[in-house]
Amino acid sequence: MLSLRFVFLFAVLSAFAVAAPAEHTHRVKETVLPPRGWTALRPASPAHTIEIRIGLPQPNFAELEDHLYAVSDPSSERYGGHLSKEEVEALVAPHPESVHLVEEWLASHGLLGDALSRSPAGDWVTVRVPVSLAEKMLDTTYHVWTHTASGTSLVRTTSYSLPEHLHAHIDVVQPTTTFSRFTPMRTTYQSFRANAAVPQSDGAKIAVPYASGGQIAASCNGTITPTCLLELYNATGYTPQVPGENKIAVTGYLEQYANYDDYHEFLEELVPYATDSTFSVVYINGKDSRTLRFEFLMVFPGGLNNQTPADAGIEADLDTQYAFSLTYPTPGTFYTTGGSPPFIPDDLEPTDSNEPYMQASESYALVWLEYVLAADDLPQSISTSYGDDEQTVPYSYATRVCSEFAQLGARGVSIMFSSGDGGVGDGDADPATQECYSNDGTNRTIFIPGFPASCPYVTAVGATSEVPEISAWFSGGGFSNYWARPSYQDVAVTKYLGELAPGTYAGLYNASGRAYPDVSAEGVNFTIVWDLETGLVDGTSCSSPTFTAFVSLLNDVRIASGKSALGFLNPLIYALNAGTVTGFNDITVGNNPGCGTEGFNATIGWDPVTGWGSPNFGILKELVLSA
């Protein structure tokens, strides 16, 4: 008969065996080819610290998507019945087995308790580790990579592995294989052009049938101001009715700071009735990954949104000046996501607390999105004027980011993204001559779709120019290689493709992919104040905050009438344009050259240059009340 001591010892050893799993064989989870222009300099310092985010599968995402379309389709009985934060989190929560196995794996590397942080739904786990440990966990080697043209540096690997038993329980681990640079969507061919004179109208008018009063100041054909946009998009005289209930926001990355002195100078010069306004800043600091307690503050001048004149960002100034002046007195929020400019870690500084580029840009979706998805109260309309080539973002990572936008849409938030400034190309060179190559090792010439504009759960905004409007030559547009065409686009996009000459651009684009942009707005010669100097800028960076402002005004109309906010816009936009009264100004002239081609053409109806066109607020405010 066994002694009690032996039985006790056997039980302890058995329990230890369960708590300490045996080593598992690693198998490659993901391998990518580095995008053109990136060069590996040297192995990363073992002591360099990186923040790793581990995405667990969302087994009920298809159900969330069904809910998203049900509350976003104006023909649905559930239209406008958005889900609560808790309902969305329940739908994206991982399976308990996935949670257990991932935590067991992390514990085997000494990562447990306060070393882990989790998203509210539990579908993301974040750890902060030295490169040496990340390499052991992922059976890989990190290198310092540099982007020749921009000088951007990253610590990345082109392949990583996971224990075989975890492959079904982990969707993605980043930063590992993502080389996206996530830059502002402001045309690189014309940056800020100083122009000290504030544009003045001499009283001359241009006839524009869809504008307020059927005409617009002739000066708007050379310089765009908030007054021009209110006139052009038939919103002159509308005053928001429920400021406070309705809110609008823009995002900022890469240490793009919105300067208050510039903002108030802009208002004094161009929007004098709004000179008493300001905007709030939410500073999202994702550095303390152990607690997931983001340091965020409602900050006014002199706070965490650096107000040194030299630090004013053209992008941030542009976004805040137009989004918030057009919607005055609707409260505006500028989200600034913590991070530092890229640096090259070396032997003297191997453990910089800011993983190169990670905090400020490429993982914006896992810092900014973690924050907003955890928040109870969100602005109903949010604009982002940043993006990159779709192919620089690994499919596994891109799909997870895109699914986060679906969650926001299901909660009633309208998300707008600039469609890009490279026409059908990538915007790194003159669109007429740029080289556009696939990143799959074949170096095929292809059109280069942009991300996140290509995500089917966001509204992509292209650019127009002149008055009356034609397409802006740089307006990004095309077809995703990652996402199939969503059903809300079937009729419109099939019609467009059917009218192309047979064989047009055969092999250069994915005709069955999600097509973009969805809409457009003016994007050339926007008057802004930067560093207390008045000047002009171009880009779909102008178009996205502009369109978002008119969405915010439409939300004001609905909320004032006791209705819900619009939420995910695309099913409504495409449904409206199937009718006889659309609420959009169709842009039929122009094209978006790139990759050595003339690109696609603007035409009657939807097109991959300007989408359905620009908004007519006067008509849309009646249409959205009947939706």
The pLDDT of 158-181, averaged and rounded, is 92
What pLDDT does 605 receive? 97
The pLDDT of 120-143, averaged and rounded, is 96
The pLDDT of 295-300, averaged and rounded, is 32
Indicate which residue of 541, 543, 544, 614 is catalytic. 541
587 is in an annotated binding site: yes
- Whole-number Å distance between alpha carbons of 482 and 451: 10
The pLDDT of 230-236, averaged and rounded, is 98
What pLDDT does 516 receive? 98
Helix (H, G, I), strand (E, B), or coil: what is residue 204?
coil
What pLDDT does 347 receive? 40
- Whole-number Å distance between alpha carbons of 566 and 288: 34
Indicate which residue of 262, 317, 319, 522 is catalytic. 319
What pLDDT does 468 receive? 95
pLDDT confidence tier of residue 16, bands split at 50, 70 and 90: very low
261 is in an annotated binding site: no
- Whole-number Å distance between alpha carbons of 122 and 126: 10
- Whole-number Å distance between alpha carbons of 397 and 175: 9
- Whole-number Å distance between alpha carbons of 413 and 396: 24
CA distances from 489 to 68, 139, 421, 626 (A): 16, 42, 23, 22
Q: How is the beta sheet containing 143-147 ordered, strand by strand?
A: 38-43, 143-147, 153-156
Element (H, E) at 609: none
Highest mean pLDDT among 282-291, 321-330, 331-340, 528-537: 321-330
The pLDDT of 363-381, averaged and rounded, is 85
pLDDT confidence tier of residue 23, bands split at 50, 70 and 90: low
What pLDDT does 589 receive? 98
422 is in an annotated binding site: no
**What are the structural domains of the chain?**
24-58+93-179 (no CATH), 184-626 (3.40.50.200)
604 is in an annotated binding site: no
Give pLDDT tens digits for 547-570: 999 999 999 999 999 999 999 999
561-599 burial, b for 16+ CB within 10 Å, e for fewer?
eeeebbbbbbbbbbbbbeeeebbbbbbbebbbbbbebeb
Can 123 be counted among the known catalytic residues? no
Q: Above 70 in pLDDT, residue 116?
A: yes
In one-letter notation, the amino acid at residue 595 is C
The pLDDT of 573-586, averaged and rounded, is 95
Indicate which residue of 315, 370, 404, 522 is catalytic. 315
Q: What are phi and psi of 402, to 5 degrees?
A: -60, -40
Can 319 be counted among the known catalytic residues? yes
What pLDDT does 285 receive? 64
Can 471 be counted among the known catalytic residues? no
What pLDDT does 623 receive? 97
Share of the chain above pLDDT 70, in %: 83
